[in-house]
Amino acid sequence: MSDAETPPETEFDPVAPNTGEEFEPVDVFPDSDDFDLRPGADSCYKCSTCDTNCPVAEVDDDFPGPKFQGPEQWRLKQSDDDHEIDDSVMDCSNCMRCDNACPSGVPLSQMHNTARGEYVSEQMDKLSVEYIRNRILANYRTSAFFASKVPRLANFAMNFGPARWVMEKTLGVTSERDFPAFAKQTFRDWWADRGGQVQSRENAKAARKRRGLPEDADKKVAYFHGCYSNYNTPEVGKAMVRVYEEFGYEVVAPEQKCSGTPMFANGMLDDARRHAETNVSSMSELVDEGYHAIASCTSCSMALRQEYPELFDIDGIDKVAENTFEAVEYLRIHEDLKGEVQAADVDGDLAEEFAYHAPCHSRNQGLDRQAVELFRDLDGAEVEDVGDSCSGISGTYGWKEEKYEKSMEIGEEMFEHMEHAEGETGMTECPTCAMQMEHGSGYEIRHPLELLEAALVE
């Protein structure tokens, strides 16, 4: 009924409500502890802007796009309890670009993650090769943990041709890609050898003195290094520690597990929750002590900031989300980073021209132009944006045998722009984008923190 119409005669008088009588609210969805995503679905006015941002729909004629996966599927589900999730949800790569596109604030990626979780837990055959393969890929941390114990052997075995042929035929993991090399020493081993938090406190104090800051200044951060900086690229973690200490921050590296990013993308929400519980518990204690959580991987920071509170109800989860930042972003807010970079110069190994790719997961966080803008005025290095396309790998997506071709088709635009860019070294914040960039161009790929370290740390 429109509020412009005159209501029919009733007993009900809005000015003098039936006071004294018991009011019984109606429980529309009894016994439901699921997230209610209908208000989000109702905010969709079907402009289809999300669809024009979907890198998969641009190349895959079987994929119906984010508007269908999100609000439309939710509407179908809400009017029909037995409505099954469409299996195309497994073709969504979880790039989350649709979130940044929606002018109406529809929580698209939350809808996709929730639908995918339901599909995997209720409709997918747990004995299928696809399930087993996805579970192994999603739990990269477990494989990396064992591999890092014997890095040389692992590096050989993981790229041993016959073994990879078997993996492709039996598990559906593409043999086109090289597995990333495991570091001889993990970040955490380096960190412990170096003296951990005690040493960091000393270094931070010395830096504060050098900078003329009060020695007891309350500058402390908790580093969420994630799996990749720990097992594969510890130089990124080391750069984070050295840059932060240079600005006078004491760094701690608390107990942590996988951020959950590859698990969300594969609908393994139970696995993701287990890891999230550890991460939230260790980070929320530190937040209470005045620490901020800092991630160097934009997918890790995205998980802690957005996916955790959207998908899980864990004590302290909102507090952790509010206090998590990406490593360069935090320094932009709290330090005169722009000024210091302008005054600095780079020589040696990193005096390069970089072809920079902004990861999709940096977009919702408003960080996709950060590196390009920050290094504009740095002497000795150039950072050139290679465009706003998706790299195409989307974490585990491009590792799947049946997705490999599409992954490369999506990446084609980035490869072309990298080819045309001045530099022959790549740069990005995201470990799997880095894999794809390297795979498509043959370039070595660096992280903005490494350039920042070269510019600012003696």
Q: Point out which residues bind other proteins (CB under 8 A).
A: 4, 47-49, 51-54, 57-59, 61-62, 64-65, 68, 100-103, 105, 305-306, 309, 318, 321-325, 332-336, 363-366, 368-369, 373, 376, 385, 412
CB atoms within 10 A of CB 175: 17
Which residue, 180 or 392, has its beta carbon nearer to other proteins? 392
Beta strands in 283-330 (DSSP E): 292-295, 324-326
CA dist 109 and 101 (Å) reads 11
Residue with the two structure tokens 């942590």: 256
Complete DSSP assignment for 59-112:
T-TT---HHIIIIIHHHHHHH-TTPPPPGGGGG-----HHHHH-TT---HHHHH
CA dist 94 and 430 (Å) reads 14
CA dist 15 and 318 (Å) reads 40
Candidates 237, 448, 452, 450; CA nearest to 356 is 448
Instruction: Give the orientation angle of helix 129-138 with respect to helix 161-171, to 10 degrees.
Output: 130
Total residues belonging to the chain: 458
Residue 130 is classified by DSSP as: H
β 250-252/220-224 pair status: parallel
Which residue, 152 or 376, has its beta carbon nearer to other proteins? 376
Rounded to a whole number of angstroms, the minimum distance from the CB of residue 321 to other proteins is: 5
Rounded to a whole number of angstroms, the minimum distance from the CB of residue 325 to other proteins is: 7
Which residue, 101 or 455, has its beta carbon nearer to other proteins? 101
Coil, strand or helix: which one is 117? helix
Which residue, 43 or 143, has its beta carbon nearer to other proteins? 43
Rounded to a whole number of angstroms, the minimum distance from the CB of residue 424 to other proteins is: 23
Which residue, 362 or 428, has its beta carbon nearer to other proteins? 362
Rounded to a whole number of angstroms, the minimum distance from the CB of residue 54 to other proteins is: 7
Which residue, 98 or 124, has its beta carbon nearer to other proteins? 98
Rounded to a whole number of angstroms, the minimum distance from the CB of residue 100 to other proteins is: 5
CA dist 191 and 253 (Å) reads 8
**To the nearest 10°, the Cα dihedral for 416, 421, 427, 429?**
-60
Rounded to a whole number of angstroms, the minimum distance from the CB of residue 30 to other proteins is: 30
Rounded to a whole number of angstroms, the minimum distance from the CB of residue 319 to other proteins is: 8
Residue with the two structure tokens 């097992």: 231
Rounded to a whole number of angstroms, the minimum distance from the CB of residue 21 to other proteins is: 26
CA dist 444 and 101 (Å) reads 31
Which residue, 130 or 318, has its beta carbon nearer to other proteins? 318
Which residue, 203 or 324, has its beta carbon nearer to other proteins? 324
Candidates 349, 419, 432; CA nearest to 384 is 419
